[in-house]
């Protein structure tokens, strides 16, 4: 992984190892400017046996991943990807309601999903009390082709605000066309998001503001936030990925400013 060392030096970060749902209530109310996150999609698996037998490695891994010996961190399964549709909606609403409490009035929530979970995600966002504002398509030109089917080229970024948001500041894109990270380019996480895309998203937070990601994975949102001069708060439940994210943000910050929390 090549790191860009050019971000402003004053950003701080904190990375919790554990369940977002028990950690979020410990955050100060209203201290966050933007929640930018990528929950486990819990996509597919219509039956109990399908949900219990399919793991993220089987779902998202590929032959190329297994043969990539250059990656420092080997992929492992991650937690929280086997809920059914109703369970997922209810659980995500609980997480998003805690995110709302932690976010300043007018602040933003930006969350990824796929075509199957788009309705569940927009329902959860609204059930949690966020005002739903729109959907931003993320087009992946390197999406896998499938014989006899339409290519699943898009994932979706659902966004909302904590109540009214003033019409001021800069204009942000309404869609993105960015390749998904590949194993051979040093991807750390099975469902890692592109750093350039995350950098564009975190710019919605004010300069020197605070970005929250309750589902850190390999820390792409945090890395992007530090590069863009924002501070970062995050949680990750899977120990392997928490460690990978700590390593990544430590390297990115290259200073003791980051606040590390032991498991
Ligand atoms: C889709 S991945 C995030 C990938 C990340 N955007 C990246 O670029 O690396 C979702 C992550 O949420 C974590 N997770 C699942 N349930 C969680 C929970 N209750 N609390 C905190 N993290 C959780 C999983 O372990 C997984 O690594």
Task: Supply the pLDDT for residue 60.
Answer: 72
Cβ–Cβ under 8 Å, residues 130 and 162? yes
Establish if 3 belongs to a structural domain.
no
Residue 9's alpha-carbon distances to 70, 78, 110, 227, in angstroms, are: 30, 32, 25, 9
Q: Give me 221's structure tokens.
A: 């949102």
Q: DSSP readout, 167-215?
A: S-S----S-EE-PPP-GGGT--STTPPPHHHHHHHHTTSPTT-EEEES-
179, 236, 263: residue to mutate for ligand 1 pocket, most atoms within 8 A of CB: 236
Establish if 4 belongs to a structural domain.
no
Q: Give me 130's structure tokens.
A: 């966020």
pLDDT 10s per residue in the chain (263 long)? 343 434 444 689 999 999 999 999 999 999 999 999 999 999 987 667 666 766 776 677 654 444 444 444 467 888 888 899 999 999 999 999 999 999 999 999 999 999 999 999 999 999 999 999 999 999 999 999 999 999 999 999 999 999 999 999 999 999 999 999 998 888 999 899 999 999 999 999 999 999 999 999 999 999 999 999 999 999 999 999 999 999 999 999 985 344 433 32
Q: DSSP readout, 14-48?
A: EEEES-HHHHGGGSPTT-EEEEEE------S--SH
Residue of minimum CA distance from atom 26 in ligand 1? 217
Establish if 244 belongs to a structural domain.
yes
Q: Give me 202's structure tokens.
A: 């975190």
C-alpha 91/C-alpha 94 separation (Å) is 5
216, 220, 261: residue to mutate for ligand 1 pocket, most atoms within 8 A of CB: 216
Task: Supply the pLDDT for residue 118.
Answer: 98
Pocket of ligand 1, beta carbon within 6 A: 19-21, 38-40, 78-80, 189, 191-193, 214-215, 217-218, 220, 235-238, 241
Cβ–Cβ under 8 Å, residues 13 and 226? yes
Establish if 1 belongs to a structural domain.
no
Establish if 187 belongs to a structural domain.
yes
Establish if 7 belongs to a structural domain.
no
CATH code at position 84: 3.40.50.150
Cβ–Cβ under 8 Å, residues 170 and 206? no
Q: Give me 80's structure tokens.
A: 């929280």
Q: Give me 250's structure tokens.
A: 């430590």
Total count of domains within the chain: 1
Task: Supply the pLDDT for residue 62.
Answer: 57
Phi-psi region of 254 (alpha: psi -120 to 50; beta: other; left: phi over 0): left
Task: Supply the pLDDT for residue 262.
Answer: 30
Establish if 8 belongs to a structural domain.
no
Residue of minimum CA distance from atom 4 in ligand 1? 217
The residue length of the chain stands at 263
Establish if 182 belongs to a structural domain.
yes
Classify residue 263 by burial, with Cβ atoms within 10 Å: 0-12, 13-18, 19+: exposed
C-alpha 73/C-alpha 241 separation (Å) is 9
Task: Supply the pLDDT for residue 56.
Answer: 73
**Other CB atoms within 10 A of residue 63 CB:** 8
Domain carrying residue 42? 13-260
**Other CB atoms within 10 A of residue 138 CB:** 19
Q: Which residues pair with 69 in a beta bridge?
A: none
Q: DSSP readout, 101-118?
A: HHEEEEEEEEEEE-TTTH
3-state secondary structure of 83: coil
Atom of ligand 1 nearest to the CA of 39: 10
């Amino acid at each position: 992984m090549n790191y860009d060392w050019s971000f402003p030096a004053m950003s701080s970060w904190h990375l919790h190892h554990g369940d977002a749902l028990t950690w979020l209530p410990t955050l100060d109310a209203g201290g966050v400017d933007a929640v930018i996150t990528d929950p486990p999609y819990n996509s597919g698996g219509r039956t109990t046996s399908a949900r219990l037998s399919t793991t993220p490695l089987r779902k998202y891994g590929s032959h190329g991943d297994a043969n990539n010996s250059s990656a420092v961190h080997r992929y492992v399964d991650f937690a929280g990807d086997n809920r059914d549709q109703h369970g997922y909606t209810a659980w995500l609403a609980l997480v998003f309601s805690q995110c709302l409490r932690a976010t300043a009035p007018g602040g933003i929530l930006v969350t990824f999903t796929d075509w199957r979970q788009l309705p569940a995600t927009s329902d959860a966002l609204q059930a949690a009390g966020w005002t739903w504002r729109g959907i931003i398509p993320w087009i992946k030109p390197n999406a896998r082709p499938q014989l006899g089917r339409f290519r699943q080229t898009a994932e979706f970024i659902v966004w909302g605000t904590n109540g009214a948001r003033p019409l001021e500041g800069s204009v942000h894109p309404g869609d993105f066309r960015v390749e998904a990270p590949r194993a051979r380019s040093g991807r750390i996480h099975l469902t890692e998001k592109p750093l350039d895309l995350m950098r564009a998203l975190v710019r919605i937070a004010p300069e020197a503001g605070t970005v929250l990601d309750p589902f850190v994975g390999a820390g792409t949102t945090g890395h992007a936030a530090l590069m863009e001069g924002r501070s970062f708060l995050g949680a990750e439940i899977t120990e392997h990925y928490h460690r990978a994210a700590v390593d990544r943000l430590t390297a990115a910050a290259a200073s003791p400013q980051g606040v590390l929390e032991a498991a």
